[in-house]
């Protein structure tokens, strides 16, 4: 046997060993992928429906209105006031600052992918993004208008919006209405989706996730996070009690809320039904790694702490440091691309001016 | 003579008449252009200087910092809070809302082209955009920090900014300083220039302005507006008394300002020198048509009214409706393109999170 042929045999042996390992990894990855595909779904192209279509005209109008502060009573509040383009559609505050400096009792969630949740708001008191946009205009904490007529008067005063409303809602005698405000902003929010590495994984490309992220996904499923955080938005599809094993504020350090005259009781604040005490919408987890602080009152700043607290409060588990780090690595794979519609801001028509 | 040749002669006659009119218009346009070129200058490519260079690294960092609210005491104030991308770098309010809802005594001017003015602020108490950005961080009305050390501590807490500072200010032992905050934001503002139709006119293309705009420019020069509103920013290059023929508030309806315990006296508020009473920096007029309301306190909503008031207060002239409309048509030619650097907003690094 020559030196050369022994080298070849040796090389073949190495290739065979590597191949066996690749096959084993492939089998593991394939099994994880198949489990994940049963629990989650990749993002659709948009969140439009037959009732709420995302026509280009509605999206263009809604995009402008999203950034429009001149229809609020303090001239400062717009959707973008608490959902900033630079901060992944949040304001990075524990609790947002609303009309005339009033502190809003809850944290501003990201607007990305929110249209895909089963209801809106932490307490689920808005059925969809359209209803959210409509009712915000008369909330004393938000746009602050006395009623819809007062809001519509402010909107119609910016006359350059009229042709945009006419295009978005053709054939309507008066298209500049509160309903169409909601539909236009809703259409815009229905395209604010952020495809992430996890979507590519769900579509079959298992190489997208790091080994640590795959371990994290496996752990996320195995310990039971997925019992609530599932579906296309990895959460946002059901209600759940916050604080199953103990009162949540023991772990989160949450303060009493003046408006609620005590701790935030979730859906109970709206329904006054004892069965709803401490029931919140399960939060969606898309972009969670880039949207601190966490929980309905932004009481926890660090994602690792948030994961640890959830394990304890909801599942009665003391997750170890490695488990937490792995789960965080998986959650990082939910960070998507900021949609161009949001990263760039349209110029709004000037008002108080008779020119174009 | 055949019918055909008589048609030719007739056609030649028309062409000659049209040509004579074109020549006359050309001569008028040429004369107007030459006068304008002596009074105004087109925008440069950027407003960088040897002392304040606009390196790509500084601009990229400054662009992020411009939108960064987490270095203010209320977590809301950023440069972009009062200089909104959607509103041509203004907030469309008469007077801005500052830290924790405090009302700022003056109107937020556009950030576009501001670096080219001879000083900053209505009273000229900031030498350049860098000094403005630095001192804003400790203004109780703006970022609200107790001192620069407190500000720097907030800045350094967002650790993901460190590599950006290191790239923008190479070789410095500690680049995350208040001085470099000013230089980075300054570099960004020095590229926020908005080339307008009037620039193309000044470069020789007289066809860019409408006949009415040309009449307006002619009037703007003839009645004396140009005595103060000249140079590259059509103003912003000198101080002047506001209210030469009568107290300004009689025309503008300006209210007393609580902070000043009376009417705003311009530079006097800073210098306490009687000679500075009612002296303001002459406002630049680039983008004036799209940045209502007008004057240092936003007391006038409509540009036509603002022009009429200036004619009366500064020049003792009662401008007619046609004159006002023509001047407004000229001012509209100062509306430039929103720079892409400003129309799109960078994603800011998440804080309170140990990941990337």
Instruction: Output the pLDDT for position A167.
Output: 98
Instruction: Output the pLDDT for position B299.
Output: 97
> For B308-321, what is the mean pLDDT?
98
- Reply yes or no on whether the pLDDT at B354 is more than 50: no
Instruction: Output the pLDDT for position B8.
Output: 47
- 3 state DSSP class of A191: coil
Q: Which two tokens stand for residue A163?
A: 């042709």
Q: Indicate the pLDDT class of residue B256, thresholds 50, 70 and 90.
A: very high
Query: Is the CB of B88 inside 8 Å of chain A's CB atoms?
Result: yes
Q: What is the pLDDT of residues B93-117, one digit of tens each?
A: 999 999 999 999 999 999 999 999 9
> Are B61 and B164 spatial neighbours (Cβ–Cβ below 8 Å)?
yes
Cα B260 to the center of its chain, rounded Å: 25
Q: How far is CA B299 from CA B249, B267, B313, B329, in A?
A: 9, 18, 15, 22
Instruction: Output the pLDDT for position B25.
Output: 78
- pTM of the model as a whole: 0.91
- 3 state DSSP class of B192: coil
What DSSP string describes A297-350?
TT-B--HHHHHHHHHHHHH-----HHHHHHHHHHHHTT--PPPHHHHB-PPPPP
- Reply yes or no on whether the pLDDT at B353 is more than 60: no
Query: Is the CB of B74 inside 8 Å of chain A's CB atoms?
Result: yes
| B57 DSSP 8-state letter | H
Q: What is the pLDDT of residues B176-220, one digit of tens each?
A: 999 999 999 999 999 999 999 999 999 999 999 999 999 999 999
Instruction: Output the pLDDT for position A314.
Output: 97
Interface predicted TM-score of the whole assembly (ipTM), two decimals: 0.89
Q: What is the pLDDT of residues A110-154, one digit of tens each?
A: 999 999 999 999 999 999 999 999 999 999 999 999 999 999 999
Instruction: Output the pLDDT for position B351.
Output: 76
Q: What is the pLDDT of residues A177-217, one digit of tens each?
A: 999 999 999 999 999 999 999 999 999 999 999 999 999 99
A101/B92 Cβ within 8 A: no
Q: Indicate the pLDDT class of residue B12, thresholds 50, 70 and 90.
A: low
- Reply yes or no on whether the pLDDT at B352 is more than 80: no
> For B70-87, what is the mean pLDDT?
97
B130 to chain A, minimum CA–CA distance in Å?
22
- Reply yes or no on whether the pLDDT at B241 is more than 80: yes
- Reply yes or no on whether the pLDDT at A22 is more than 70: no
> For B20-37, what is the mean pLDDT?
86
- Reply yes or no on whether the pLDDT at A232 is more than 60: yes
Query: Is the CB of B35 inside 8 Å of chain A's CB atoms?
Result: no
Instruction: Output the pLDDT for position B26.
Output: 82
- Reply yes or no on whether the pLDDT at A171 is more than 90: yes
A303/B353 Cβ within 8 A: yes
Instruction: Output the pLDDT for position A351.
Output: 76
Instruction: Output the pLDDT for position A20.
Output: 62
Q: What is the pLDDT of residues B130-165, one digit of tens each?
A: 999 999 999 999 999 999 999 999 999 999 999 999
Q: Average pLDDT of chain B?
A: 93
A86/B352 Cβ within 8 A: no
Which pairs with CB-CB distance under 8 Å and at least 24 residues apart come from B130-139? Answer: B130/B52, B130/B182, B130/B183, B130/B185, B130/B186, B131/B182, B133/B79, B133/B181, B133/B182, B133/B185, B133/B186, B133/B189, B134/B178, B134/B179, B134/B181, B134/B182, B136/B79, B137/B71, B137/B178, B137/B181, B139/B98, B139/B99
> For B324-332, what is the mean pLDDT?
98
B70/A91 Cβ within 8 A: no
Q: Give percent above pLDDT 70 in chain B.
A: 92
Contacts of B91 in chain A (CB under 8 A): 69, 75-76
Instruction: Output the pLDDT for position B3.
Output: 47
B346/A347 Cβ within 8 A: no
A289/B354 Cβ within 8 A: no
Q: Which two tokens stand for residue A124?
A: 């689920």
Q: Average pLDDT of chain A?
A: 93
> For A282-309, what is the mean pLDDT?
97
Contacts of B301 in chain A (CB under 8 A): 352-353
Contact residues for B257 (Cβ-Cβ < 8 A; gap 6+): B105, B263, B264, B297
Instruction: Output the pLDDT for position B18.
Output: 55
């Amino acid at each position: 046997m020559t030196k050369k042929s022994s080298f070849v045999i040796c090389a073949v042996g190495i290739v065979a060993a590597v191949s066996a390992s690749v096959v084993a990894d492939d089998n593991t990855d394939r099994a994880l992928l198949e489990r994940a595909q049963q629990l989650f779904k990749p993002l659709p192209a948009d969140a439009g429906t037959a009732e709420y279509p995302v026509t280009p005209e509605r999206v263009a109008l809604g995009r402008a209105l999203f950034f429009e502060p001149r229809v609020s009573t303090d001239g400062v509040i717009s959707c973008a006031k608490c959902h900033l383009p630079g901060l992944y559609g949040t304001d990075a505050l524990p609790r947002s600052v609303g009309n005339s400096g009033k502190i809003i009792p809850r944290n501003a969630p990201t607007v990305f992918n929110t249209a895909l949740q089963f209801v809106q708001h932490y307490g689920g008191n808005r059925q969809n993004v359209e209803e959210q946009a409509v009712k915000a205009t008369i909330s004393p904490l938000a746009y602050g208008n006395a009623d819809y007529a007062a809001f519509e008067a402010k909107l119609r005063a910016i006359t350059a919006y009229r042709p945009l409303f006419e295009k978005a809602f053709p054939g309507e005698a008066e298209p500049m209405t509160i309903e169409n405000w909601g539909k236009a902003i809703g259409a815009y929010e229905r395209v604010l989706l952020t495809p992430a590495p996890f979507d590519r994984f769900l579509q079959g490309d298992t190489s997208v996730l790091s080994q640590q992220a795959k371990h994290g996904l496996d752990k996320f499923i195995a310990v039971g996070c997925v019992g609530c955080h599932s579906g296309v938005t990895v959460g946002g599809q059901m209600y759940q009690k916050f604080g199953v094993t103990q009162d949540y504020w023991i772990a989160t350090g949450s303060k009493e809320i003046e408006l609620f005259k005590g701790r935030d009781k979730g859906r109970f604040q709206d329904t006054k039904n004892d069965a709803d005490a401490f029931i919140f919408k399960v939060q969606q987890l898309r972009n969670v790694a880039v949207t601190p602080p966490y929980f309905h009152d932004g009481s926890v700043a660090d994602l690792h702490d948030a994961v640890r607290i959830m394990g304890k409060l909801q599942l009665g588990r003391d997750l170890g440091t490695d488990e937490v780090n792995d789960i965080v690595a998986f959650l990082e794979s939910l960070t998507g691309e900021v949609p161009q519609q949001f990263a760039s801001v349209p110029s709004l028509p000037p008002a108080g001016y008779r020119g174009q």
